[in-house]
Structure 1
Amino acid sequence: MSIQFIGVTKEYKNGSNIFLALNNISFEAKEGEIVAIVGPSGSGKSTLLNLLGGLDRATSGEIIFDGLNLSALSDKELTKYRRDKVGFVFQFYNLIPNLTAYENVEVAAELNKNSLKIDEVLEAVGLLDKKDKFPQELSGGEQQRVSIARAIVKSPKLLLCDEPTGALDYKTSKEVLELIDKINQIYKTTIFIVTHNTSIASMCHRIIRLRSGQIIEIKENINRISPKEVEW
């Protein structure tokens, strides 16, 4: 099984002006890969992620994942797709401040009848001993770990990470990258990472480089290194 973008264009209109966020892009990635989406600001990275996650719709073209053509789904079907198959991790953690770490993950677990056990997931991200802590009692790195636990507790086939280390220092960023790699190995989750940090791409199976809404390079990374070896 694979993920396919086939001639995908996304345009935004502002009055009589049309902005092409993505311009006729095509690529294929394999299930179970970690894929890096890299490029400068405004290159279309987050737009690509939003289309794949069903948060937005392509203007034209097809997006195929897990036997579904996202372009052909109704709004209700897209909602079900996001709920059942996709986990999201953002730069800013978006945790609910008056809920504990456990309760923040529990909210997501209740969305899917096939959810993993909450304690198991918190243990996987190294936070079982802090499950009763509120977000303000956790460090930035720990809050990001909770957000990752919240994303994977639904047992999604696809994990989408938008600048997951953007608000973290070097040491904590490395820890989060190691966790993302661990999630890929344990759960065989397909993971897309949008990042400005091109060094992160070296730990990924596939690298897709964007510029001005177009793909300028697709590279299968045969010399992939472990997150511990990533330096910047």
Structure 2
Amino acid sequence: MSQQPPPYPHAAPAFAGDEAPTVSLRPSGSYGPPPPPPGGGMPAGPNTGTNTMAILSVVFAFVFSPLGIVFGLVGRRQTRRTGQRGRGLATTGLALSVAFLVVGVAVAVYVTVLAAQIATSVPTGVPDQPEVSAPADPSVPAPTAPVATGPAGSATVGVTGGEYGPEVPTTALAEQVGVGSGATDVICPGYLPAQIDASTVCSGTVDGQQAQLRTQVTAVAGSEATVDITRVG
């Protein structure tokens, strides 16, 4: 049979007399200041000044509209974030900048179209005034057109006996030169022997101009001689 420990009829108090601690539920009447925020600084209050970008947006609306638009947008964004004054000012500057920009573009387009119309209406084919030339000097001969030289044809002329041997008569030569070259009023002065390479120069008129026609014997057959006609002047 197991033995049980004797019961303790009374438990001894942990503290005797006045040594027992008392607990008060009444809150203390004095508290210290709240702890400062991290970093040791005081919380900053809202900035109540007028936003600089808002002011600049109104100024540049009259000076340079594109920059006024930029300042107006930035000013509106900053006033919404920081709580500064000037949001209405930024809105006004933005509106003025947009209006002035639209008006400027419209004026530029109108001026360009007007300039193009004026340019197309100006006549471009105005003839120059004729120059007044000095009177011609009668002592200076007028320039003549260049003369076409070269072969003019050929002719066959009868040969006769002359004082110095066979020769080509000048009258018959002049007639045949005119037929062979198409010249008129042909005159062949001088003596032309009926020998190969013998030559003389006849004069005549070709197309209304004086012409020098050189005739040269190229062949002699019996009583006939063949001459080549060349215009030399």
Q: Which has the larger radius of gyration?
A: 2
> Looking at both structures, which has the greater relative contact order when contacts are Cα pairs under 8 Å and sequence separation is at least 6?
1
**TM-score in terms of structure 2 length:** 0.16
TM-score in terms of structure 1 length: 0.16
